[in-house]
Amino acid sequence: MPTVITIPDELFARLQKHAVPFVDTPLTVIERALTALEEGDEDAQIPKGGSDVRAFNPAAAPNLTFSTPQIAKVGKKMLAKAKTYWNPIMYAVIEEAAKRGISQADISSVIAVPYIEGRNEENGYKFVEKANISVQGQDANSAWKQAYRIASSFGIAVEVEFSWQNTEKAAMPNVAGSFYVEGE
């Protein structure tokens, strides 16, 4: 028989700060918090089965302009909230490929955006140390296309939940979406 508890308003307000709107319940937030404590990882977990989140084909992504990733997981690693943007997702996929022992030459062969071998952090380039490649930052659409291309080429699992901003310029204002790239 389940245990019933009373949560003080202050604690409930703290739980709400960590909830994904229209997806989480107090129970799912508590489960995530316990999982993070047990794993020693305080990053969020991707909610399963949120009915308000539309799954999109990652190979044929809709226009992502004016969209913001909310949660991202590359391989088995959940990205920190501060790195949950389209470009850091692309960099994380490149880093994961390098961690798996994929050579710089093989990674470079599937990169379709501007890159330079070695360190360069000028003109919008970001150095991905593990791959020894500097990749130029992209708009949301190009960053996702590149992340998908690398992930699908090397069997890297990627999960992203995102939402479009509330603006007429967005492809789907106020809609939440997700991508899932199957990996090994």
**Residue 12 shares a structural domain with residue 98:** no
**Residue 23 shares a structural domain with residue 77:** no
**Residue 112 shares a structural domain with residue 177:** yes
In the chain, % of residues over pLDDT 70: 89
**Residue 35 shares a structural domain with residue 51:** no
Give residue 140's pLDDT.
98
**Residue 58 shares a structural domain with residue 108:** yes
CA distance linking residue 151 with residue 182, whole number of Å: 8
Model confidence band, residue 48 (pLDDT cutoffs 50, 70, 90):
very low
Tally the C-alpha atoms within 13 A of residue 163's C-alpha that lie toward its C-beta. Answer: 14
Report DSSP state, residue 48: S
**pTM listed for this prediction:** 0.73
Please count the structural domains in the chain.
2
Tokens 């508890």 locate to 5
**Residue 76 shares a structural domain with residue 92:** yes
Domain containing residue 69:
46-181
Residue 111 has pLDDT above 50, yes or no: yes
Give residue 75's pLDDT.
96
**Residue 95 shares a structural domain with residue 69:** yes
Per-state percent for the chain, helix, strand, coil, to nearest 5? 35, 20, 45
Q: Which amino acid would we find at residue 125?
A: Y
Report DSSP state, residue 166: S
**How far is residue 99 from each of residues 9, 26, 104, 154, 175, measured CA to CA in Å?**
44, 36, 11, 12, 34
**Residue 90 shares a structural domain with residue 154:** yes
Q: Write out the two tokens for 103.
A: 């050579």
**Residue 35 shares a structural domain with residue 97:** no
Q: How many helices and strands in the chain, by DSSP H and E?
A: 5, 8
For residues 54-72, average pLDDT: 96
Answer for the pair 64, 122: CB distance below 8 angstroms, yes or no. Answer: no
**Residue 6 shares a structural domain with residue 32:** yes
**Residue 28 shares a structural domain with residue 115:** no
Answer for the pair 21, 27: CB distance below 8 angstroms, yes or no. Answer: no
Tokens 């995102």 locate to 162
**Residue 125 shares a structural domain with residue 73:** yes
